[in-house]
A and B are shown apart, each in its own frame.
Chain A
Amino acid sequence: MIRAVVLTAALTVSLAVPAGVFLDARTGLRAEAPAREARSLSPRSGDAGDAEGDALRQRVVPARRAQSQVVPERPRALSLPSGSRVTIRAVGTARDGRLAVPPGLDSAGWWRGGARVGDPFGSVLVAAHVDSRTEGLGPFAELLQVRPGAIVTVASRGLEQRYRVVTFRLVPQGDLSRRDWIYAAAGPHRLTLVTCAPPYDRTRGGYQNLAIVVARPLGRATRTDS
């Protein structure tokens, strides 16, 4: 126990020193000063003719990414609990702060600034219209009556991740800046599905609420392209 404490303390101290030294990538490096001295090295270095010092001229190896690591990818489609499949497009935010959800019912919008499939933390925010005047109720309408534990599967180009619905919240339509849990990079990795919810009041702009369904990952993202 004491050994662990001493080790932790020693590591903390030695971490503090190098981190402080390296904080400025341009100039604040302790070794930069001696780097400028023009002292010649022993002639053996790099001398191809010397038998003992005949180092093979090899290439610097580019480090490999650990094989088990999943490279995050943006979501491209999801399957709702009913099996219904919805295409996902990456969308940004308009100047007035409105999420640029694709019009119509063909596709859902994934916020480009949010977490991706395979990211270790953060909210994967996907929103779609609950209905349209021309096409009726959309696929996301089933979320209004989703069951806890229902499965939603999200696919990216080469990955698939299953999620399990854990919470359903109704939030008043309007400014969401106080509710940053909906889109935050912080917090456990989760899928946040958003669509409009009743009550509907035509005289007050339409749907008065947003339904926010949060689902947690079931296992890790798996590769589908191998």
Chain B
Amino acid sequence: MKKQRAIVCAALAVCLAAASSGPVHAQEPTAPPARVTLVQALPGVNVDMAVDGEPVAQGVPLGDVVTVPLDPGSHELTFSDADGEVDVVSTLRVGPSTRTDVVLHLPAEVDGDPVVNSYRTPSAPIGSGEARVVLAHTATAPPADVRVDGQVVFTNIANGEYAEADVPAGTHSVALLPTGSADAPILGPLEVQLEPRTVTSVYAYGNPSDRSMNVIVRVVRLSADGVAAPRTIETGRAGLAGDLVVGSRFRLGAEARTRADAAAVAARLLRLLPTVLRAVASARPAAVLSPLRSPDLS
């Protein structure tokens, strides 16, 4: 690998102050620290990491992470290696109580200098049965689409960008494809297990041209949003819709085709027979029974 005299070519400050705390430079010694995780996504090197001049890790290989608590404010991060191929100095600003991943990775261009991007972990509470996933493009690859369980869920994510969604917890099949293409995936499909009430951050790295694409995965627990599922829904009392014929435009035939189970429909009809007979017996002149009615009383 040629010498990577790395310069971080970024321009924006990260200002992650919590909502209640105002400007970041209001530094109180007792403010809760930020949790910063340094993610080593540079292939082929072992990286030494330092924060504010103090070493925090030596020889960190690709895929490993180092978590450090940092006081709110500005900090200098240094990434280097024993061969002098990596020399990155960058300034990070963090607010209290935030969780951030700081990822050292390659840009989209082959032989480009390493870059450092920060990804704040979205820590808002979440419902039971759900999981959050953050997918970050930190690979030497063009913009990509993300397919989850066969469905394109994110599109056109470029190097340095990410996409985020709340999805059902459980096992999902995830693949990265070149944007807008149905060609072979550049990564995956991978089976990813998403535990309920967690956020999983996935950093895709490598280069599809030499089949070195892979992922670094971080999982953090989330708190519950405290919203309970409804057990009952009560929506009406005056009885004014009592005589309406309902669902009559949904033909039984169509439903049988959809469910591919005509026998189930027939059985349902038989169960309905007593209800129908009672209704006929007590029907007022205005009530009309549509033969196409298909109430589901299962």
**What residues make up the interface of A, taking CB atoms closer than 8 Å to B?**
3-4, 7-8, 11-12, 14-15, 17-19, 21-23, 25-26, 29-32, 34-35, 37-42, 44-46, 52-53, 55-69, 72, 92-93, 96-99, 101, 111-113, 119-122, 125, 127-133, 136-138, 140-141, 144-148, 167-177, 180, 183-188, 194-200, 202, 206-207, 209-211
A39 touches B231 (CB 8 A): no
Complexed CA–CA distance, A113 and B126 (Å)? 8
Query: What would be 12 A-B contacts, judged by CB atoms less than 8 Å apart?
Result: A15-B217, A25-B35, A29-B66, A55-B88, A62-B120, A63-B160, A98-B233, A144-B247, A168-B249, A185-B168, A196-B234, A196-B235
Known: A93-B227, A194-B233. A46 touches B10 (CB 8 A): no
- Beyond known contacts A15-B214, A61-B8: 5 more, CB 8 A cutoff: A30-B64, A59-B92, A59-B93, A132-B237, A200-B241
B233 touches A60 (CB 8 A): no
Complexed CA–CA distance, A171 and B298 (Å)? 8
Pick from B5, B64, B169: contact of A31, CB below 8 A: B64
A62 touches B12 (CB 8 A): yes
A65 touches B231 (CB 8 A): no
B42 close to chain A: CB less than 8 A: no
Complexed CA–CA distance, A175 and B231 (Å)? 5
Known: A45-B50, A46-B76, A66-B155. A57 touches B241 (CB 8 A): no
Q: In the complex, what residues of A have CB within 8 A of residue B35's CB?
A: 25
Complexed CA–CA distance, A185 and B59 (Å)? 43
Cβ-closest chain B residue relative to A136: B240
Scan residues 2-47 of chain B and give those whose CB is less than 8 A from a CB of chain A: 5-14, 35, 37, 40
A61 touches B162 (CB 8 A): no
Pick from B9, B87, B214: contact of A45, CB below 8 A: B87
B89 touches A32 (CB 8 A): no
A197 touches B129 (CB 8 A): no
A18 touches B63 (CB 8 A): yes
A200 touches B12 (CB 8 A): no
B295 touches A58 (CB 8 A): no
A195 touches B235 (CB 8 A): yes
**Chain B: interface size category:** 35 or more
Q: In the complex, what residues of B have CB within 8 A of residue A195's CB?
A: 235-236
A172 touches B90 (CB 8 A): no
Q: In the complex, what residues of B have CB within 8 A of residue A97's CB?
A: 228, 230-232
Pick from B115, B237, B254: contact of A206, CB below 8 A: B237
Min Cβ gap A10→B in Å is: 8
Q: In the complex, what residues of A have CB within 8 A of residue B162's CB?
A: 63-66
Pick from B9, B158, B219: contact of A25, CB below 8 A: B219
Known: A92-B227, A93-B228. A127 touches B233 (CB 8 A): yes
Complexed CA–CA distance, A173 and B237 (Å)? 12
B214 touches A141 (CB 8 A): no
Complexed CA–CA distance, A173 and B227 (Å)? 22
A46 touches B57 (CB 8 A): no
A120 touches B167 (CB 8 A): yes
A38 touches B233 (CB 8 A): no
Min Cβ gap A194→B in Å is: 5
Cβ-closest chain A residue relative to B67: A29
Query: Which of A31, A41, A175, A183 lies at the interface centre, i.e. has the most chain B CB atoms within 10 A of its CB?
Result: A31
Cβ-closest chain B residue relative to A63: B117
Known: A46-B50, A176-B232. A65 touches B238 (CB 8 A): no
Complexed CA–CA distance, A177 and B129 (Å)? 14
Min Cβ gap B53→A in Å is: 6
B10 touches A61 (CB 8 A): yes
Complexed CA–CA distance, A163 and B188 (Å)? 32
* Per-residue contact bits, chain B 151-162, to A (CB 8 Å; 1 contact, 0 not): 101111110111
B228 touches A66 (CB 8 A): no
A41 touches B48 (CB 8 A): yes
Complexed CA–CA distance, A12 and B175 (Å)? 12
A66 touches B156 (CB 8 A): yes
Known: A34-B60, A45-B89. A120 touches B148 (CB 8 A): yes
Query: Which of B161, B215, B239 lies at the interface centre, i.e. has the most chain A CB atoms within 10 A of its CB?
Result: B239
Complexed CA–CA distance, A59 and B130 (Å)? 34
B161 touches A39 (CB 8 A): no
Known: A113-B225, A145-B245, A199-B242. A128 touches B91 (CB 8 A): no
